[in-house]
A and B are shown apart, each in its own frame.
Chain A
Amino acid sequence: MSVALRNTALFAVVAGLIVLVGVQQGWNSALVIVNMGLISAIMALGVNLQWGFAGLFNVGVMGFVALGGLAAVIVGMPATPGAWSAGGWNIMGAFGFAVGLIAGVVLLRARMRPGRLRALVVVGALVAGFFIYRAMFDPGVDAVEAIDPALTGYLGGLGINQGLWVALAWPVGGLFAAAAAWVIGKTALGLRSDYLAIATLGIAEIIIAVLKNEDWLARGVKNVVGLPRPTPFEIELQNDPAFVQRASEMGFTAVEASTLYVKLAYAGLFLVVLLVLLWMAQRALHSPWGRMMRAIRDNEVAASAMGKDVTARHLQIFVLGSAICGVAGAMMTTLDGQLTPGTYQPLRFTFLVWVMVIVGGSGNNFGAVLGGFLIWFLWVQVEPMGLWLMELITSGLADGSPLKAHLIESAAHMRLFTMGIVLLVVLRFSPRGLIPER
């Protein structure tokens, strides 16, 4: 069987699985899987760029995804009236001061001769600067958070909420993630490979901590709800006589037709983004730049002997891959219509994406996309399957026995277990994945 035929067959199998869900559980469930599958595929593309092209191990996907979500809030939500004049400028001033301070310290450090005096001056300047920063920052934060805390209490955003302009948040999410990735890459790249893993693990936790605690930024765990969407609302469609008419002609009720229409609209938008990114990734893979990346991945020493700047190229691709994860994160938050920092779990957002890349085939963009859909499908379907399995296993036990209750209750945790097994089995027996790199 030729490679193209095999790959098409694999995609067809995944499509068939989703259609099966559509037939059995309703088309709404199937479209939910498709939409998140598209987003997962984009995340997998980003990680594949880093791991498959360059061999960089990024365990901070969750952080970049969450930063993308933040962009959806900052671009989409309207500015809270009075927040900027109350304390917003103080906060920005404090940030400006912090940036200036760090730049100043770096310059000073470069100018002074190494020694005890320099260390003392640097540490002293940083400590004093920190207190000045807090003195500027805290009153601003208190003022912003005091504005109607039950509803707003945060700065708000740019208020771009008209139709397709909402999608502007997606590239902005990419920019946010890219900025964070640059800072991490600058410190941890060029050191040993494990350090990048640990540094990204850390930054992801910190980004989530910031999102949870900085209420002035995005309301923290109080969540921002009602984000603008690029698609019409279901209720608007249901009130539109022309739409109801057309739906009934096609044999749908108005409610069913409107939910399907909205989900299909999202799927269309996401598909466009995925195809654009996939096309770009494919072009990159087959360009001289892509070949150089793979050469660096396979033998760093040889590549640097050929005059390639390994660290700079790594930084470049690390930033690009993280930006793609940020785009996907912004899309996901737009789809959900809310930013809920409490729901970001590393196992769900980082490691699941890794399983997608490894299972799909690292180094192959189509593999990453396939893995995204397949693993997302499994992730959604393993829970009901686990529950069913547990009920089968425990069917011999008496009703009301504590063991049975415990087993059925714990079925939800089967997901992690299954994903771990899938990852290990694929790595062991088919390390190149379903669609191997060519």
Chain B
Amino acid sequence: MDLLNAIIALANFVIIPATAYGAQLALGALGVTLVYGILRFSNFAHGDTMAFGAMVTVLVTWLFQGWGLSLGVLPTALLALPFGILGCMGLLLLTDCTVYRFYRTQKAKPVIFVIVSLGVTFILNGIVRFIIGPDDQRFLDGERFIVSARSFREMTGLREGLAIKTTQGITVLVAVICVIALFWFLNRTRTGKSMRAYSDNEDLALLSGIDPERVVRVTWLIVAALATIAGVLYGLDKSFKPFTYFQLLLPIFAAAIVGGLGNPLGAIAGGFVIAFSEVTVTYAWKKVLGYLLPDDLAPSSLVQLLSTDYKFAVSFLILLIVLLFKPTGLFKGKSV
């Protein structure tokens, strides 16, 4: 039995990757849940919004790299991120006034909005593939590791290495900053309060003189920032490929629903629930169990509950369980 090595192995292969992934999902789910809370529909275009924001960032990053601009050990993409956010904000405001506003004034049913957002998904997907192509793109530079497995082993003398990628560190840090800023905005500022009021009770908010168009506009701006940041962080951590963002839609929705749609705190919790279950269920536990159990009990197989290809199935199963037993989510969400 070797508890220390087991913990390190667990941290290296499960806790750290799942935390980073959870932070990315949480940021994505926050965007979905904000749109749901304010505009009252499930935005299927969110994955492709992330892809669009990330694409703009990738392009600007390449431009900066071409100029020789860099942040030293940090990825240049962080420098390009504000431009990606601006591009994404422009896009969302444009889709809002060309597409969604019409249905809003008509007071169309939520399901119509969902179909419309599907059309937007199509268009964004086409634009992204048109501009940057459907293939994998690399835009990561700077130092790769904060702590590399080898230096950790040399430092501690343990058999297991612990690696923390720069992107994982940045992901968690940026996510924390975003969440703090978002909650400060929603709870402390006048605009944020008017957004929450609008989300709670539309008619009452209108009566007290809140301008709905302004609330909607601010929502889209925040969603654009969140989506771009989530998209760029995911792209840095894994790689940028337009189609994967569409597939991220399922875990993101699962995270938002598990937490309770329309509830920002729930979205964050949901993101981590989904990420940790996905990683633990698809991780091969052989190594960790090998350290924990006595030698004659050590498992011979990989002890992998599900193959990694089924990670979507995990988020889906959690979604089904939550829908069956607690349809409003772990934190109380709203229902239309």
Contact = CB atoms under 8 A, between A and B. Distances in A.
Contacts of A393: none
A212 to B, nearest CB: 7
A55 interface: yes
B32 to A, nearest CB: 10
Given A194-B41, A202-B316, A427-B115, A416 B323 contact: no
A197 interface: yes
Contacts of A205: 247, 250, 312, 316
B129 A413 contact: yes
Contacts of B122: 347, 351, 416-417, 419-420, 423
B319 A198 contact: yes
Given A206-B312, A416-B123, A416-B125, A188 B323 contact: yes
Interface in B243-260: 246-247, 249-250, 253-254, 257
Interface string A208-235: 0100110000000000000000000000
A191 B130 contact: no
B110 A410 contact: no
A187 interface: yes
Interface string A407-438: 00110011111111101100110000000000
Interface in A299-358: 346-347, 351, 354, 358
A26 B320 CA distance: 50
B126 A417 contact: yes
A227 B162 CA distance: 50
Interface string B279-311: 000000000000000000000010001010110
Nearest to B249: A201
A181 interface: no
A59 B312 CA distance: 16
A416 B126 contact: yes
A417 B309 contact: no
B315 interface: yes
A187 B127 contact: no
A97 interface: no
A205 B316 CA distance: 9
Interface string A15-50: 000000000000000000000000000000000000
Contacts of A428: 99, 102
Do most interface residues of chain A lie in helix, strand or loop, or is the interface mixed? helix
Contacts of B57: none
A113 interface: no
Nearest to A350: B118
A192 B123 contact: no
A59 B99 CA distance: 21
A268 B50 CA distance: 46
B177 interface: no
A55 B123 CA distance: 24
A194 B250 contact: no
Contact of B253 (A57, A198, A417): A198
A413 B323 contact: no
A209 B323 contact: no
Interface in B213-262: 246-247, 249-250, 253-254, 257, 261
A417 B127 CA distance: 7
B123 A420 contact: yes
Given A419-B122, A420-B119, A424-B99, A209 B310 contact: yes
Contact of B114 (A188, A197, A347, A416): A197
A212 B310 CA distance: 10
Residue from A59, A197, A206, A424 whose CB has the most chain B CB atoms within 10 Å: A424
A76 to B, nearest CB: 26
A199 interface: yes
A413 B42 contact: no
Residue from A130, A198, A413, A419 whose CB has the most chain B CB atoms within 10 Å: A198
Nearest to A205: B312
Nearest to B128: A413
Given A201-B250, A205-B250, A417 B130 contact: yes
Nearest to B36: A194
A195 B310 CA distance: 21
Given A413-B130, A420-B119, A347 B319 contact: no
Contacts of B247: 205
Contacts of A187: 320, 323-324
A424 B327 contact: no
B97 interface: no
B238 to A, nearest CB: 18
A184 B119 CA distance: 24
Given A57-B114, A187-B324, A192-B335, A427 B119 contact: yes
B147 interface: no
Contact of A424 (B116, B134, B320): B116
Interface of B: 41-42, 44, 99, 102, 110-112, 114-116, 118-127, 129-131, 133-134, 246-247, 249-250, 253-254, 257, 261, 301, 305, 307, 309-310, 312-313, 315-316, 319-320, 323-324, 327, 335-336
Given A138-B301, A212-B309, 14 more contacts: A192-B327, A194-B110, A195-B323, A198-B254, A199-B319, A202-B316, A351-B118, A409-B133, A410-B129, A414-B126, A417-B126, A419-B122, A423-B119, A428-B102
20 contacts: A57-B111, A57-B115, A192-B336, A193-B336, A194-B110, A195-B327, A197-B42, A198-B253, A198-B319, A199-B320, A202-B250, A205-B250, A206-B316, A410-B129, A413-B134, A417-B123, A420-B120, A420-B123, A421-B123, A427-B116
* Those 8 A-B pairs whose CB atoms lie nearest each other, nearest first: A420-B122, A417-B126, A420-B123, A416-B126, A202-B316, A413-B129, A423-B119, A194-B42
